[in-house]
Amino acid sequence: MSLIALRHALGGFWESDLAYRFRRSPVAILAALVGLALLVAAMGAPVLAPYDAFDPAAANAADARLPPASEGMFGDYYTLGTDPQGRDMLSAMLYGLRTSLVVGLASVAAAALAGVLLGLMAGYFGGVLDAFIMRAADVQLSFPAILIALLIDGVARTAMPAALHAELAVPILIAAIAASFWVQYARTVRGLVLVERGRDYVLAAKVTGVSTPRILLSHILPNVLGPVLVIATINLALAILTESTLSFLGVGLPSTQPSLGSLVRIGNEFVFSGDWWISALPGLLLVLLSLSVNIFGDWLRDALNPKLAS
């Protein structure tokens, strides 16, 4: 795409109704700015963090459980204190934020991809395929999402050696969370496809000999992406919280790969010892991230469907 075409596309978006509603909503702007700042901080963790949280040599056991604004035994300064392993809390939180965001974004993307494809096929072809996919969705909806994720992670732990599971902890966690959220996308897309497949533009495409995959991906899919985008935005906060819950329970990521949930779990053991910062600071960061994503998702839902706005 040329620079001129890109400028025209950005200008067209800026003048769109969605951008106008965004500019008129201070809450949405604040939520977007907070979310963007956290995203930049997470992706820039290797540059912004004073220490490498993944490097065991960077942790000093002699400086364990130091409060915020403390100086270590060898002159190191810890802005947010240290954890029980002697890791700098600021560095651990930045790397943990990156891990939580990567797991959340990847699991939402995988769930959306699987759910949209299944929803397109179920709504367009109908029949036995539709009945099978929807009954599978109904069965999964009878179980809490966290239970599905726990089941998948437990099966992986049983089937794999401990070393292999630790190495594949992130992909397994992404798959477990994605398998918990695909149903919402599939059911939503199926309902929209049932309406769209009878439209004139779809019938005209069939008459002119357009292939079925092209009809689904080029004609129907663009018209059902709005609700999918809203679901994905809201599910991002749920995916991050699910990852944090699993890590808090000790079945998510190993302690060598810090995430916000594992940091809260580690600090929870020392709350009554007066070391409040070890769990409180990652917990506050997790709340801030989830709240900003949820607020922006609620605004996006109302902006794309003004009839839902109160």
Q: Is 88 helix (H, G, I), strand (E, B) or coil?
A: strand
Mean pLDDT of 157-178: 86
Report for 162-166, 182-186, 244-248, 268-272: range of highest mean pLDDT: 182-186
Of 56-60, 147-151, 182-186, where does mean pLDDT reach its minimum?
Answer: 56-60
Q: Which residues of 243-260 are buried (b: 16+ CB within 10 A; e: fewer)?
A: bbbbbbeebbbbeebbbb
Mean pLDDT of 280-290: 94
Q: Which CATH number fits domain 87-304: 3.40.640.10, 3.40.50.11540, 1.10.3720.10, 3.40.1010.10?
A: 1.10.3720.10
The answer to whether 103 and 110 have CB atoms below 8 angstroms apart is no
Instruction: Tell me what pLDDT residue 58 has.
Output: 74
Number of residues in the chain: 310
Of 170-184, 191-205, 250-264, where does mean pLDDT reach its minimum?
Answer: 250-264
pLDDT band at 5 (very low <50, low <70, confident <90, very high): low
Mean pLDDT of 258-277: 86
pLDDT band at 6 (very low <50, low <70, confident <90, very high): low
Residue 305 confidence (pLDDT) above 90? no
pLDDT band at 1 (very low <50, low <70, confident <90, very high): very low
* Torsion sign across C-alpha atoms 136, 139, 144, 148: negative
Q: Domain locations in the chain?
A: 87-304
Residue 73 confidence (pLDDT) above 60? yes
* pLDDT, tens only, 83-136: 888 889 999 999 999 999 999 999 999 999 999 999 999 999 999 999 999 999
Residue 307 confidence (pLDDT) above 80? no
Instruction: Tell me what pLDDT residue 12 has.
Output: 64
Of 1-5, 60-64, 173-177, 272-276, where does mean pLDDT reach its minimum?
Answer: 1-5
The set of residues, in sequence order, having a beta carbon less than 8 Å from that of 109 and lying 6+ positions away, is 232
**What is the DSSP annotation of 109-177?**
HHHHHHHHHHHHHHHHH-HHHHHHHHHHHHHHHTS-HHHHHHHHHHHHHHHS-HHHHHHTHHHHHHHHH
Instruction: Tell me what pLDDT residue 54 has.
Output: 78
3-state secondary structure 62-81: HHCCCCCCEECCCCCEECCC
Alpha carbon of residue 252 to chain centroid: 15
Residue 158 confidence (pLDDT) above 70? yes
* pLDDT, tens only, 132-156: 999 999 999 888 888 888 888 888 8
- % residues pLDDT > 90 (the chain): 44
Residue type, 34: V
pLDDT band at 308 (very low <50, low <70, confident <90, very high): very low
CA distances from 45 to 98, 115, 140, 195 (A): 7, 32, 37, 46
CB atoms within 10 A of CB 146: 17
The answer to whether 239 and 177 have CB atoms below 8 angstroms apart is yes
Of 51-65, 121-135, 279-293, where does mean pLDDT reach its minimum?
Answer: 51-65
Give dist(CA 111, CA 234) in Å, integer: 13
Instruction: Tell me what pLDDT residue 4 has.
Output: 64
Give dist(CA 88, CA 51) in Å, integer: 7
